[in-house]
Amino acid sequence: MTFPASAYLLAVLGGALATFASLPLWRAWCVRTGLVDDPGQRKIHNTPIPLAGGLAVLTGLLLPLFAGAVAMQLGLLPAGVVEKISYGFEKRGLQLAAILVGALGMVLLGWLDDRHELRAGPKFAAQLGIALLVALAGVRIKLFPESPLSPVLSCGVTVLWILTVVSAVNIMDNMNGLCAGLGTIGAAAFGATAALHGQYLVASLALMAAGALAGFLPYNYPKASAFLGDSGSHLTGFLLAVLAILPHFYTAQNPRPLAVLAPLLVLIVPLGDMVCVMWIRWRAGKPVWVGDTNHLSHRLVRCGLGKPQAVATILGLHAAAGAAAVWLGAGR
């Protein structure tokens, strides 16, 4: 029995509905506890906005996973689906557990940063610890020939990749809908690639993440009644970094060396934006970590586009790159 497409649709809808339904509750909680983004310099809003997006997206990820596990135990899913998903859990159970712990850790770290504006050192140390946990659990980039040093090298490259993608996505959270839109499209591209290679658990997780992020967009684009906050941008970057590692882009059945470039193609927009912005800051003699308005989104606005149109343009480019990456990864 092949894996039914309806199961993937259920993953997307489950994530989207859980986020969409839970966000008003999280928004009320944020207002009550003072977890809001106040207006200020370089801000795009004039009234306090609740930083509820990260908590809602995490709910959109965890609630469908819990519901799916219960449905499997109660025998409510088709036998073929249970068999294939169970096989995925057997092969990647530890990795999935580490990813979920890492997602929780990233949301907690972002929440603390939203509340207390953490210093760069402690925040980086926490990000490093989360990335190392995931790498040690077996979620690794494997680019090196087998040798005693290959696990160490793979672990190091993986940690660097996760930290880089988290930073790139985090600094692109500068206009309504941009970060969540990038996450939605990127996760969908990775999910499609995994589905084409028969990685049912990975595809379901990626599509669930895409749905969870999409469920937040109606509250954030074009006008925002909630922001992702650092908790949400950290979570989005972490999910994209991990989902880029999980699919098999190069296999014996698909022996195309260029396919390993597919993850970079999916994420070329946030990674390219980060490289360009850091280059501009370095050339100007400014610290590369100090924020400015030299991002692609800001430049498009200075060229005459409205902010919603600038975001839509960037997401269009991102979607085109994601489609090309799926085509490349599929061996077409």
Q: Give mean pLDDT, residues 53-61.
A: 97
- Tell me which of 77-91, 105-119, 220-234, 292-306 is least confident: 77-91
Q: What local confidence, expressed as pLDDT, does residue 73 receive?
A: 76
Burial of 218 (0-12, 13-18, 19+ CB in 10 A): middle
Considering only residues 50 and 250, tell me which one the structure prediction assigns the higher pLDDT: 50
Amino acid at 304: G
pLDDT band at 249 (very low <50, low <70, confident <90, very high): low
Q: In angstroms, what CA-CA distances link 116 with 53, 110, 111, 123?
A: 18, 10, 9, 11
Structure tokens belonging to residue 259: 């396919």
Give yes or no for residue 85 having a pLDDT over 80.
no
Q: Give mean pLDDT, residues 271-294.
A: 88
Phi, psi of 304 (to 5 degrees): 115, -5
Q: What local confidence, expressed as pLDDT, does residue 233 receive?
A: 96
Residues 104 and 106: their CA atoms lie apart, in Å, by: 6
Q: DSSP readout, 136-194?
A: HTT-----S-SSTTHHHHHHHHHHHHHHHHHHHHHHT--STTHHHHHHHHHHHHHHHHH
List of residues 6+ apart from 215 with CB closer than 8 A:
15, 16, 17, 18, 19, 20, 23, 56, 57, 60
Residues 280 and 148: their CA atoms lie apart, in Å, by: 40
Considering only residues 197 and 143, tell me which one the structure prediction assigns the higher pLDDT: 197
Q: What local confidence, expressed as pLDDT, does residue 151 receive?
A: 79
Let me know the angle formed at the C-alpha of 277 by 119 and 269, rounded to the nearest 5 degrees.
105
Q: What local confidence, expressed as pLDDT, does residue 248 receive?
A: 67
Tens digits of residue pLDDT in 4-39: 778 899 999 999 999 999 999 999 999 999 999 887
Residues 106 and 129: their CA atoms lie apart, in Å, by: 10
Q: What local confidence, expressed as pLDDT, does residue 41 receive?
A: 58
User: What's 2-30 look like in SS3?
Assistant: CCCHHHHHHHHHHHHHHHHHHHHHHHHHH
pTM for the model: 0.92
Q: Decide if 44 contacts 307 (C-beta within 8 A).
A: yes
Q: What local confidence, expressed as pLDDT, does residue 252 receive?
A: 53
Q: What local confidence, expressed as pLDDT, does residue 1 receive?
A: 41
Q: What is the mean pLDDT of the chain?
A: 88
Q: Give mean pLDDT, residues 58-66.
A: 94
How large is the angle between the packed helices 178-196 and 150-171, nearest 10 degrees? 140
Count of beta carbons in the 10 Å neighbourhood of residue 280: 14
- Tell me which of 11-20, 78-87, 157-166, 299-308 is least confident: 78-87
DSSP for residue 277: H
Q: Which H or E run contains 241?
A: helix 229-243
